[in-house]
């Protein structure tokens, strides 16, 4: 039993989609969520810089006595998770585009993998493509995380941007869509409109939290706060409005 907090980080609001799943699967834990709003977005930054920023965020969460870290960002995971696991002994859980489960689905058609430019071009995703990418088409989505950060989850502007991103990929049948950035589950409704109803939109959130639960169990680190856990939000811009946006995103 360990009552310390679990640390979450992302460039902004995206990781809250992962945090919601954690609250569902592990409701008796305390959480600290750090959004690096000052340095967002991570998707087009130099990977070395994303590594530095991720390391800085992890150090901050460790200084706050976190017992485990969830890098609730596909981009930061691609840039930093491997190296951080070599350096640190606490559990570090990352996110990756859910291409494996998508590739195991029955049916014909392409798998569209929506993610940031960095996630799609770095070796971690290239390795995933080698194993499960036979039918996959990488779809970089510039500008999409910014819609979520602005609170634009539906509407004309979002539709217009999604049309420009997705239309080159809509000429062939699509079997599944992978939401390979933790911001995109917040746009699920807007994205789903571009596909027939039976096309699943898959994210990696439930799998990542199952992995977190497994690691906490194995290492005897599970918490048990009797009246349910708490969530503390922090933002690198130290701006109260950013923290309020995080709170309202979690409430949904
Ligand atoms: N939420 C992040 C991800 O999962 C990245 C968004 C960004 O900072 O570009 O990749």
E strand or H helix that includes residue 147: helix 144-149
Which residues are tagged catalytic? 73, 181
Residue 229 is predicted with a pLDDT of: 86
Residue with tokens 């079997």: 175
Looking at the CA of residue 119, tell me the nearest atom of ligand 1: 10
Q: Which pTM value belongs to this model?
A: 0.97
Question: Predicted confidence band at 252 (pLDDT cuts at 50, 70, 90)?
Answer: confident
- CA dist 178 and 139 (Å) reads 10
Asked if residue 9 has its Cβ within 6 Å of ligand 1, the reply is no
Across the range 226-234, mean pLDDT stands at: 91
Asked if residue 16 has its Cβ within 6 Å of ligand 1, the reply is no
pLDDT over 90 (residue 238): no
pLDDT over 90 (residue 228): no
- For residues 116 and 74, the answer to whether their CB atoms sit within 8 Å is yes
Looking at the CA of residue 95, tell me the nearest atom of ligand 1: 4
| Rounded percentage of the chain residues whose pLDDT exceeds 70 | 100
Across the range 103-108, mean pLDDT stands at: 95
pLDDT over 90 (residue 183): yes
If one residue of 12, 54, 146, 149 were mutated to test the ligand 1 pocket, choosing by the most ligand atoms within 8 A of its CB, it would be 12
Asked if residue 11 has its Cβ within 6 Å of ligand 1, the reply is yes
Residue 114 is predicted with a pLDDT of: 98
Residue 239 is predicted with a pLDDT of: 87
Looking at the CA of residue 145, tell me the nearest atom of ligand 1: 6
Across the range 46-62, mean pLDDT stands at: 98
| Rounded percentage of the chain residues whose pLDDT exceeds 90 | 97
Q: How far is the CA of 183 from the centre of ligand 1 (A)?
A: 6
Q: How far is the CA of 61 from the centre of ligand 1 (A)?
A: 19
Q: What is the mean pLDDT of the chain?
A: 97
Residue 177 is predicted with a pLDDT of: 98
Looking at the CA of residue 44, tell me the nearest atom of ligand 1: 9
> Which residues pair with residue 235 across a beta bridge?
35
Q: How far is the CA of 192 from the centre of ligand 1 (A)?
A: 20
Q: Outline where DSSP puts E strands in the chain.
A: 6-10, 31-35, 68-71, 92-93, 110-115, 136-140, 174-179, 201-202, 231-235
Residue 25 is predicted with a pLDDT of: 97
């Amino acid at each position: 039993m360990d009552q310390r907090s679990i640390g979450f980080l992302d460039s902004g609001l995206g990781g809250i989609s992962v945090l919601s799943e954690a609250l569902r699967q592990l409701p008796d834990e305390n959480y600290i969520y750090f959004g690096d709003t000052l340095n967002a977005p991570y998707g087009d930054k130099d990977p070395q810089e994303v590594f530095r920023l991720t390391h800085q965020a992890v150090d901050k969460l460790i200084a706050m006595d976190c017992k485990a870290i969830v890098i609730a960002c596909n981009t930061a995971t691609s840039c930093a998770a491997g190296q951080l696991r070599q350096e640190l002994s606490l559990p570090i859980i990352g996110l990756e585009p859910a291409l494996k489960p998508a590739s195991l689905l029955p049916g014909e058609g392409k798998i569209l993998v929506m993610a940031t430019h960095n996630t799609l071009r770095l070796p971690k995703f290239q390795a995933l493509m080698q194993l499960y990418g036979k039918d996959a088409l990488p779809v970089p989505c510039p500008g999409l995380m910014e819609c979520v950060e602005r609170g634009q989850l539906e509407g004309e502007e979002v539709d217009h941007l999604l049309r420009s991103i997705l239309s080159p990929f809509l000429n062939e049948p699509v079997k599944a869509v992978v939401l390979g950035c933790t911001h995109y589950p917040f746009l699920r409704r807007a994205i789903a409109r571009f596909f027939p109803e039976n096309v699943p939109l898959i994210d990696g959130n439930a799998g990542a939290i199952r992995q977190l639960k497994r690691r906490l169990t194995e290492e005897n680190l599970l918490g048990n706060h009797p009246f349910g856990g708490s969530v503390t939000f922090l933002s690198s811009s130290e701006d109260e409005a950013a923290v309020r946006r995080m709170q309202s995103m979690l409430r949904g």
